[in-house]
Chains A and B, each alone.
Chain A
Amino acid sequence: MTDAAYDLDKTVDARGAACPGPLMDLIGAIKSVDSGAIVRLRSDNEQSTTDVPEWTEESGNELLELVETDDGYDFYVKKA
Chain B
Amino acid sequence: MTEEIVIVGAGTGGSVLANDLAERLDAEIDAGDVRVTLVNDSPDHVYKPVWLYVPFGKRESEDGRRPLSQLVDDRVDLRIDRVIDVDTDAKRIEYRDGTGPNEYDHLVLATGSTLAPDEVPGLREGGYDFYSEDGAEALREELLSFTEGHLVLSVVGTPHMCPAAPLEFVFMADAWFRERGLRDDVDITYTYPVNRVHGNPNIAEWARPKMDERDIAVETFFNAEEVDPDEQVISSMEGSELEYDLLVDIPPHRGVDLIEEAGLGDRGWVEVDKHTLEAKHAEDVYALGDTAATGVPNAGSVAHYQAGVVGQRLASHVRGYPATETYDGKTLCFIETGMDEASFVEFDYENPPAPAPPSEKLHWSKLAYNEAYWLTARGLL
Contact = CB atoms under 8 A, between A and B. Distances in A.
Contact of B193 (A16, A24, A30, A54): A24
A33 B221 CA distance: 19
Interface stretch (B3-11, B46-54, B81-89, B195-203): B195-203
Nearest to A17: B295
17 contacts: A16-B274, A17-B295, A18-B199, A20-B158, A20-B193, A23-B194, A24-B158, A24-B194, A27-B193, A27-B223, A31-B237, A47-B201, A58-B195, A58-B238, A59-B223, A59-B238, A60-B239
Contacts of B239: 59-60
B296 interface: yes
Interface residues of A, number: 19
B295 A24 contact: no
Closest 10 CB pairs of A and B: A18-B295, A20-B199, A20-B194, A58-B221, A59-B238, A17-B295, A24-B158, A54-B195, A58-B238, A27-B223
B101 interface: no
Interface residues of B, number: 19
B198 to A, nearest CB: 9
A21 interface: yes
A24 B157 contact: yes
A70 B201 CA distance: 25
A27 B159 CA distance: 13
B158 A21 contact: yes
A21 B194 contact: no
A8 interface: no
A51 interface: yes
Interface string A21-51: 1011001101100000000000000010001
B195 A55 contact: yes
A28 B156 CA distance: 11
A36 to B, nearest CB: 16
A16 B295 contact: yes
A47 to B, nearest CB: 7
A31 B274 CA distance: 28
A55 B159 contact: no
A55 B221 contact: yes
Contact of B295 (A21, A23, A28, A60): A21
A59 B221 contact: yes
SS class, residues of chain A in contact with chain B: helix
Contacts, number: 51
A58 B222 CA distance: 10
Contacts of A55: 194-195, 221
A8 to B, nearest CB: 18
Interface of B: 157-159, 193-195, 199-201, 221, 223, 225, 237-239, 274, 293, 295-296
Nearest to A23: B194
Nearest to A14: B295
Interface centre among B200, B201, B295 (most CB of A within 10 A): B295
Contacts of B225: 31
Interface in A43-80: 47, 51, 54-55, 58-60
B99 to A, nearest CB: 37
B148 to A, nearest CB: 32
A19 B200 contact: yes
B62 to A, nearest CB: 34
A55 B238 CA distance: 9
Contacts of B223: 27, 31, 59
Given A16-B295, A18-B199, A59-B239, 12 more contacts: A17-B295, A18-B296, A20-B194, A21-B158, A23-B193, A23-B194, A24-B194, A27-B237, A30-B237, A31-B223, A31-B237, A55-B194
Contacts of B238: 58-60
A28 B238 CA distance: 13
Contacts of B199: 18-21
Contacts of A31: 223, 225, 237
A18 B331 CA distance: 14
A59 B194 contact: no
